[in-house]
Amino acid sequence: MSGIRTWVDTATPDDRQVYTSTRGGQWELVMSDEFNTPNRDFRPGQDHMWTSVEKPDGVNAALEVYSHNMTSTACDADGTCYFYIRAIDEVTKLTLWNDYRNPPGFQNSTFFYRAAMVQSWNKFCFQGGMVEVRAQLPGAISNASGNPDIAAGPRGHATSKAYYPTWPGIWMMGNLGRAIFTGSTNRMWPFSYNECNDDVFLSSNQRISACDPNPGSGMNPFQGRGAPEIDILEGGGSDVSSSIQLGPGMPQEYRIMFAANDSNPGCVYSASCTTPGANAPDLPTALYRTRRGHKSWYQGLLYAANNFCSANTSARQSYSTVKANMDRGITENSCTLTTCPGSKDPNAGLSFIDGSRTEHWGVNTNGTCFPLMNGYTGAYLCSPGNPSSRCEKTDVPQNDRMAVFEYQMDAISANWPLHVAAYTSFLTYQLEWVMGDTGYVRWMLAGQPLYEIPASSIVSPPQNAAKSNPKKLMIEEPLYIIFNVALSSSWGTSPPNIGKECRGDGKDPVANAICNEFPMYLKIDYIRVYQDTSPTSTMAVGCDPSTHPTRQWIQDNIDDYQDFDNMVIDVAGRGFCATNADCTIAPNVGGGITTGWCVNNRCQCNDASWTGPRCTSTSSALQDPSSSRSYGPSLYVSAGTCGVLFAITLAVMAVSRKSHRQQVVELVRMQQKKADTLGSSRVPSAVEDLVVLPTGTISPLETKSSALGEKRNPDAA
């Protein structure tokens, strides 16, 4: 074994193996995909890291179906190689099952576009770290498109939303929920909650709750679980949304006041409501203080400028002016440049940024593009036909096949303005995620901070005397990565002629010019993940860690994660390699046996005894979970253990090669079991290659987050 980590691409440059975090820590590369090999196949069973989906998108008023042939890798003539998702305008008619119609049954549905979703679900997952993605977003950007933003140059603000009709997403979700597979996400998405108090939140609404002493399927007793979401970006044309979704959400008493006096409650998205208190939480200050006596929404969120945009002097702010007005209390019903932080979040933090003595969070000192608090703050999710007064009234009956539920989910989100370069070139998007009560999630663009959610805002929310606001966990579930391009009729930006073919009657020259730009492409140059690998770190790689197991649950509920068109298929090998040593176990463990070879720069395992990207694991996603709980057992054991294994190996050298191989398999399993007993927390533990294709369930219930769908409103994908 060469020593390269299981999920690291051998093509990642040597000078990109270590990352210095914003807090000064040295984090090591634990996963990368440089996408340097053209024509990769992401269909089920074909790739070690990624699985494409053949399935209609049933969330967020979607207009597209996802297909395998809309995604691959390519290299341009100049040698630039990348992953891509292609979006095309193409009409597809399908007959699909809908639980939210009366009576539940099949319906004919028309989709006007085709694109792709690619997931690392149940293959590569991680807990904590820094994700870096260099990407170019899809848009109508040729000279023939007539896009007026192009003339402003790469630093100009992309303001003409019609020319960016797709909804690209780069995001993560907890492994217990598989994006757009409703059976896996009902009562699972986006929980990050480990409390048992039915007076605060009814535990039956959470599928795996902290009140359950015996949840079964490998789950830990009395541990609340779920599938929360972190969105690196969800495209929205002129802006992108960066957010987390988690639950249970805050009760109404802690949310923004309802726009009762306004004919259109959507005024909250433009902060134009006339109803007092309906534009932002705790605004006006005195109104909220008098009516509630406690703060509202999440406190101390941090916002910073996208300084790659051109500056606008009229948008500049003064820290001293903003701070003085906030200290006095804001009397207006909406934010201004002088009364509120640039984010229009009255509770935003104003501390110094990363030790600077001049630049403050929340203040648009330079007048460049500045993130805004997202007016979309979540949704109230209900089972079909739920009679609760909080649920939408319909004639749909309750579904005997589905547990009754209702709960609020929260989206903590910022919409930050994009400059034109996001569509005409590659930009580097970064996210740091640190778990625990003192952790945080921070979004950055090429190293510059844009938005940060401190853990304190989640674990210590505002409370009334009865402490009725659920205290959630900072996200700690093993998350997998998703790339997708969607098109929606109601969220963020939309294509021309919604509900019809792109060109409609063909008489609108602007619509025709935009539609002529299809196919549009999301391109990704590379993705890299770094983690703190020091002995005291809680960061880990794996989809099935002992602290948050998922493997047996998925196996026991496999029909929630696959369908007839999207069956689960194991993948053995296929990791990228440079030499044979990248594809075999360490000699001092295997007694000289070679478990795999490097063939055309991809690992190929010797036989069915070995699996994992580098042929170093004896487990499989479809094996009985008792055989092993990891994708690839840790082969870096103590010298004492290695000595014992080597001695045992010598004792069996005289047996046949087949018997020798079986012995080594058992030795590695013994080694893994011993490592688990000793409390090894870093053993990679993913389940293998689970897959999906065109399904047939549309559920309005999934009006939520990216993929699962956080594709909602300005907060998108």
Please determine, for residue 649, whether its predicted confidence score (pLDDT) is greater than 90.
no
Domains of the chain with bracketed CATH: 14-255+297-310+368-540+693-702 (2.60.120.200), 570-677 (no CATH)
Residue 510: count other Cβ atoms within 10 Å of its Cβ: 12
| 3-state helix vs strand vs coil in the chain, percent to 5 | 20, 25, 55
Is residue 42 a contact partner of residue 67, using CB atoms and an 8 Å limit? no
Decide which of 407 and 680 is more confident.
407
Mean pLDDT of 637-650: 32
Q: What is the pLDDT of residues 62-73, one digit of tens each?
A: 899 999 999 999
Q: What residues have CB less than 8 Å from 656, skipping those under 6 apart? A: none
pLDDT of residue 588: 62
In whole numbers, what is the pLDDT of the chain averaged over residues?
A: 88
User: Where does the pLDDT of residue 677 fall: very low under 50, low under 70, confident under 90, or very high at 90 and above?
Assistant: very low
Is residue 298 a contact partner of residue 458, using CB atoms and an 8 Å limit? yes
Q: Distances in Å between the alpha carbon of 48 and those of 114, 122, 139, 542, 572?
A: 25, 11, 30, 14, 7
Is residue 7 a contact partner of residue 613, using CB atoms and an 8 Å limit? yes
Decide which of 441 and 355 is more confident.
441
d(CA 420, CA 159): 9
Please determine, for residue 577, whether its predicted confidence score (pLDDT) is greater than 80.
yes
Mean pLDDT of 20-37: 98
Mean pLDDT of 480-509: 94
Residue 657: count other Cβ atoms within 10 Å of its Cβ: 8
Span of 115-119, 530-534, 575-579, 675-679 with lowest mean pLDDT: 675-679
Mean pLDDT of 505-533: 98
Please determine, for residue 651, whether its predicted confidence score (pLDDT) is greater than 60.
no
Q: What is the pLDDT of residues 276-319, one digit of tens each?
A: 999 999 999 999 999 999 999 999 999 999 999 999 999 999 99
d(CA 497, CA 489): 9
Q: Which of 277, 442, 284 is nearest to 349 (CA)?
A: 442
pLDDT of residue 103: 87
Please determine, for residue 372, whether its predicted confidence score (pLDDT) is greater than 80.
yes
Q: What is the pLDDT of residues 423-482, one digit of tens each?
A: 999 999 999 999 999 999 999 999 999 999 999 999 999 999 999 999 999 999 999 999
Span of 178-192, 226-240, 644-658 with lowest mean pLDDT: 644-658
DSSP-derived secondary structure letter, 340? S
Is residue 637 a contact partner of residue 673, using CB atoms and an 8 Å limit? no
User: Where does the pLDDT of residue 567 fall: very low under 50, low under 70, confident under 90, or very high at 90 and above?
Assistant: confident
Phi, psi for 219 (deg, rounded to 5): -75, 150
Report residue 700 as tokens.
């309005």
pLDDT of residue 593: 84
pLDDT of residue 591: 61
Please determine, for residue 662, whether its predicted confidence score (pLDDT) is greater than 80.
no
d(CA 548, CA 531): 18
User: Where does the pLDDT of residue 624 fall: very low under 50, low under 70, confident under 90, or very high at 90 and above?
Assistant: very low
d(CA 174, CA 188): 9
d(CA 207, CA 14): 44
Q: What is the pLDDT of residues 380-419, one digit of tens each?
A: 999 999 999 999 998 889 888 889 999 999 999 999 999 9
Mean pLDDT of 232-237: 92
d(CA 223, CA 218): 12
Q: Which amino acid is at 700?
A: P
Q: Distances in Å between the alpha carbon of 56 and those of 59, 512, 633, 715?
A: 9, 25, 36, 21
Report residue 527 as tokens.
């993705």
User: Where does the pLDDT of residue 337 fall: very low under 50, low under 70, confident under 90, or very high at 90 and above?
Assistant: very high
pLDDT of residue 1: 67
DSSP-derived secondary structure letter, 503? T
53 has which bridge partners? 692
Decide which of 407 and 587 is more confident.
407
